[in-house]
Structure 1
Amino acid sequence: MSKIDSDTSKKTLYLDIGNSTIKGAYKMGTQWMVLSDERLFSALELVNWIQKHPNSFGKIVLASVRDDVSEAIERELGRQEIKEVSVSDIPRDLLNYETPKTLGIDRFLSCYGATNQTNKSVVVIDAGTATTIDFMDQDDVFHGGVIIPGLWGFSEVLSQKAPALPFVELEIPGKWPGKSTIDSLKWGQAGFYKMGIIGFLDKYEEEFGQYDLFITGGDALEIESMLERETKVRPFLVFEGIERLVRQLESNK
């Protein structure tokens, strides 16, 4: 019997279905616990895991940017109580966004989780397969943002397009400008990425004023190490946003 199953009170399982990964978490008291130490890369792996723990979760709440994956999970777990939160569940007055139908709900949710932890506006960097840099004001209105390639995807572009160039680590050289091919590549990859993010952060401040900066996602610590400013690294922002939105929806019934 697993530690999860040994707790007789059934929990809510939260699922964040992204473009390339499926992540799950649940709460033990006030603490978030990841479903697994490793990312779950397929719906089948997730379904098999849940079916092996039938007494663990009373309800599954998911947010997805992949309709095919969420539909497959709901089909295979038909006996479970499953709720999917979607962009249509977001109060329209909280979206200052021209194409809500194409908005990845994880972008809103990570910001919605962040504004619940501060009385200021927020910028949230979600550093995953793609990196998003989004702004939400202190009234929980989502204003959109930026989508760029993820940190490692960005660094792989040159190795794919120019294989004769050497591989370099994602680190900022000590001298400017680069005095070797290696250091020039490092400036062109890690340095360019860092300066691009800082430029976007400065533009948000110029446009909207001061804000709290949150970072989440698999590459959050790498991004944090690049930025010379105060940041709040929060690995569970999307789950916190899901939980907050569900509570709001239930209170409005």
Structure 2
Amino acid sequence: MSKIDSNSSKKALYLDAGNSSIKGAYKNGVSWETIHTKEKYTASELVQWIDDHPESFSQIVLASVRKDVQDAIRHQLSHVELIELGAEDIPRELLDYETVETLGVDRFLACYGATNQTNGSVVVIDAGTALTIDFMDQDSVYHGGLIAPGLSSFTGILPQKAPALPSVELEIPETWPGKSTIDSLKWGQAGFYKMAMEGVLQQYEEAFGEFELFITGGDARKIENLLERECKVRPFLVFDGMQRLEHRSRNIK
């Protein structure tokens, strides 16, 4: 029996459907709880879990960056109240973005969750299959950002394309430049990624001024260890943004 079943009151179940997996969580007081010990689900696994727990929640709130997953969940969970959050649900006064129709709603939601935790502007690094680095100002206006290969994808290129090269740890060497093949590879992977992110953050500072840095996603701790900046690691930022946007749409304080 999962933790959600031990609470007699029904809850809203929030689902974040990303590029490679689906995560689910619900609010337990002021804290988020994942729905199960399994961290990520496929669409079929998730639907099966929901069907096995019909009395656990009153509604499902879904944010998806993949239309096929969204359509599958909508079709297979037609018996459950489903609230879908997409880019079209974002108030236009909160968007400084040209192609809203192609905006991955999770990028906005992560920033929207972050600005609810501070009075200032934020930069959010979402370190998943893709790495996104986005800016939102103190008025919760989303100004866009960048999309790059995620850390695992980036560091996996050379082992796949040049298997004769040795494997290395994700760490920054003590001396610059690399004086050995191992250190050169470390600089080319961890060091290169670190310098690229720091360059992006500096660009944001020059364009917008001071901000608070938030990191979320599966590789958040790895990114935190690479950067030499004060930051806040928040695993549930997208869920925070989902709840905030859903409550705004229903005028819930």
TM-score of the aligned structures, taking structure 1 as reference length? 0.97
For the Cα contact (< 8 Å) 1:20–1:41, is it kept in 2?
no
Q: Equivalents in 2 of 1:108, 1:84: separation in Å?
A: 15
Shift of 1:150: 0.5
Matched letter for residue 84 of structure 1: E
Kindly tell me the number of residue pairs found equivalent between the two proteins.
252
Aligned equivalent of 2:54: 54
Alignment of 1:37-76 (within 5 A): 37-76=37-76
Shift of 1:35: 1.6
Alignment of 1:14-163 (within 5 A): 14-163=14-163
For the Cα contact (< 8 Å) 1:122–1:213, is it kept in 2?
yes
1:111-136 C-alpha deviation (Å, 9 max, x unpaired)? 00000000100000000000000000
Matched letter for residue 32 of structure 2: W
Q: Equivalents in 2 of 1:34, 1:2: separation in Å?
A: 10
Task: Provide the secondary structure at the position in 1 that maps to 2:156.
Answer: helix
State the Cα RMSD in Å.
Answer: 1.1
Aligned equivalent of 2:207: 207
Q: Equivalents in 2 of 1:5, 1:169: separation in Å?
A: 41
Q: Equivalents in 1 of 2:148, 2:101: separation in Å?
A: 20
Matched letter for residue 206 of structure 1: E
Matched letter for residue 189 of structure 2: Q
Aligned equivalent of 1:177: 177
Q: Equivalents in 2 of 1:37, 1:10: separation in Å?
A: 20
Matched letter for residue 89 of structure 2: D
For the Cα contact (< 8 Å) 1:128–1:150, is it kept in 2?
yes
Aligned equivalent of 1:188: 188
Q: Equivalents in 1 of 2:82, 2:109: separation in Å?
A: 18
Task: Provide the secondary structure at the position in 2 that maps to 1:93.
Answer: helix
After superposing on structure 2, the runs of 4+ consecutive aligned residues of structure 1 that deviate more than 2 Å are 36-41
Task: Provide the secondary structure at the position in 2 that maps to 1:214.
Answer: strand
1:2-41 C-alpha deviation (Å, 9 max, x unpaired)? 4322322100000000000100100111110012233334
1:7 aligns with 2:7: yes
Shift of 1:47: 0.6
Task: Provide the secondary structure at the position in 1 that maps to 2:250.
Answer: helix
Q: Equivalents in 2 of 1:152, 1:112: separation in Å?
A: 26
Q: Equivalents in 2 of 1:223, 1:3: separation in Å?
A: 30
Matched letter for residue 53 of structure 2: H
For the Cα contact (< 8 Å) 2:194–2:227, is it kept in 1?
yes
- Percent of aligned pairs with the same amino acid: 66
For the Cα contact (< 8 Å) 2:3–2:35, is it kept in 1?
no
Task: Provide the secondary structure at the position in 2 that maps to 1:251.
Answer: coil
1:64-113 C-alpha deviation (Å, 9 max, x unpaired)? 00111111112111111111001010011111111111110000000000
Q: Equivalents in 1 of 2:208, 2:6: separation in Å?
A: 49
Decide which moves more: 224-233 or 39-48.
Answer: 39-48
Q: Unaligned stretches of 5+ in structure 1?
A: none
For the Cα contact (< 8 Å) 1:128–1:218, is it kept in 2?
yes
For the Cα contact (< 8 Å) 1:21–1:39, is it kept in 2?
no
TM-score of the aligned structures, taking structure 2 as reference length? 0.97
For the Cα contact (< 8 Å) 2:3–2:36, is it kept in 1?
no
Q: Equivalents in 2 of 1:175, 1:36: separation in Å?
A: 44
Alignment of 1:194-233 (within 5 A): 194-233=194-233
Q: Equivalents in 2 of 1:3, 1:36: separation in Å?
A: 7
Q: Equivalents in 2 of 1:41, 1:67: separation in Å?
A: 16
